[in-house]
Chain A
Amino acid sequence: NAGVTQTPKFQVLKTGQSMTLQCAQDMNHEYMSWYRQDPGMGLRLIHYSVGAGITDQGEVPNGYNVSRSTTEDFPLRLLSAAPSQTSVYFCASGRGGRTGELFFGEGSRLTVL
């Protein structure tokens, strides 16, 4: 049971570079989301999707793009990396609803120099 798989686990970028964080889930969940986690600030929602072809912005969307062409995959693209985007990124999926549990990947640690 793979659950939610994120790649890469670690990445170092230079300011201005672009990259894509990959996320895949094998639980047929409608809902997928990307969070960033910074010390003392908890989890902040970047973008989310409630189904293939449907995406929306979360709390901190600037500098990031997403797409959802399939139920399984939800990649996060950093367009032009900035040091402020140094963080740990988590992909999560779930069925939604009042008691819907979120299943998280192991995280991707990104450093922007």
Chain B
Amino acid sequence: TQLLEQSPQFLSIQEGENLTVYCNSSSVFSSLQWYRQEPGEGPVLLVTVVTGGEVKKLKRLTFQFGDARKDSSLHITAAQPGDTGLYLCAGVKDSNYQLIWGAGTKLIIKP
């Protein structure tokens, strides 16, 4: 059962365009993490959002946690080829250790 729905599954855009990736659930999470994975490597943490409504910025990437802590979004401004990768969201529920993973968004930025 996929508790975290990510959309879109695949996105291919030109350099310089903006994009948003969504991570939605009917469940409440105590926090939500975003990871980026490049081919042949393991995922690497980008950011963790904890408070409902929280917004965090990482250079051209903006992450938002929904007010009800059920959803999150990742917005990239002026995408660069270096942003290419698989973006994964993961929610932390009531357990201290277990993450619930989205299926991922494969992003390709064309020069």
Contacts and interface: CB of A to CB of B under 8 A. Distances in A.
Contacts of B104: 42
Nearest to B92: A98
Interface residues of A, number: 25
Nearest to B42: A104
B33 interface: yes
B48 A101 contact: yes
B19 interface: no
A42 B42 contact: no
B31 A40 contact: no
Nearest to B102: A42
A101 B99 CA distance: 10
A97 interface: yes
B45 A43 contact: no
A96 B96 contact: yes
Question: DSSP majority for the A interface?
Answer: strand
Contacts of B63: none
A31 B98 CA distance: 10
Contacts of B61: none
A48 interface: yes
A90 B42 CA distance: 7
B50 A98 contact: yes
Given A41-B103, A42-B103, A101-B45, A107 B98 contact: no
B88 A107 contact: no
Interface of B: 2, 9, 30-31, 33, 35, 40-45, 48, 50, 88, 90, 92, 96-99, 101-104
29 contacts: A31-B97, A33-B97, A41-B103, A42-B2, A42-B103, A42-B104, A43-B101, A44-B101, A45-B98, A48-B97, A90-B42, A90-B43, A92-B42, A96-B97, A98-B30, A98-B50, A98-B92, A99-B31, A99-B50, A100-B96, A101-B33, A102-B90, A102-B99, A104-B42, A104-B43, A105-B42, A106-B41, A107-B40, A107-B42
